[in-house]
Chain A
């Protein structure tokens, strides 16, 4: 079973626009991570936010975490065609690197 649920399941935007995707989870967590996957191959770590953090930035990425609502959001600013991929949130309940992934958001950035 999957703990996280991403919303929307799919997103289509024009290059230069911002992309926002949301993740909800069910249990308490130690940290929440976002990963990117191109064409069904390996996942690439994007950003990790700990349960005592509310917002984190990395380049064009901004992640927020609301533990009271058990939700997180990932914002990609000024999107590029190369950002086309599936994005997954993953929760780690006990800092043991055993991640529970959501179903993912498929993002298409049109040039």
Chain B
């Protein structure tokens, strides 16, 4: 079991609403990445935060935004939710450039 915790575990929202997902990284890790995993597919990279700055972004629109705090925990915010945003959202922490990611158990988001 990793030291990465995510909350909430499940969430149901309606189209057009906004959502905030939270992640606490493993002790000693200064990098947090967020991934979206649709049912039956592999995770897709949303963005990464390093020392509180966005450090790379995947092919996701600006309504996906994030924050990293001084204690290296992180938030993922999604505005104007769409049905296709329904997915498992995974947070992963790592030490910078060490390769190996430590994943949390994810937040299952359902948009109705």
Contact = CB atoms under 8 A, between A and B. Distances in A.
A53 to B, nearest CB: 12
Interface string B76-100: 0000000000001010101011111
A88 B42 contact: yes
A97 B97 contact: yes
Contacts, number: 75
A103 B41 contact: yes
- For chain A, give the interface size range: 20 to 34
Contact of A103 (B42, B55, B88): B42
Contact of B99 (A2, A92, A104): A92
A96 B48 contact: yes
B43 A95 contact: no
A40 B88 contact: yes
B33 A42 contact: no
Contacts of A40: 37, 39, 88, 106
A97 B43 contact: no
A99 interface: yes
A44 B101 CA distance: 8
A48 B98 CA distance: 10
Contacts of A100: 45
A35 B37 CA distance: 14
B55 to A, nearest CB: 7
Kindly name the residue among A2, A42, A44, A48 whose own CB sees the greatest number of chain B CB atoms within 10 A: A42
Nearest to A48: B99
B98 A97 contact: yes
Interface in B40-62: 41-45, 48, 55-56, 58-59
Contact of B105 (A42, A99, A101, A104): A42
B56 A98 contact: yes
A98 B106 contact: no
A42 B90 CA distance: 7
Contact of A45 (B59, B101, B106): B101
A63 B2 CA distance: 23
A74 B59 CA distance: 28
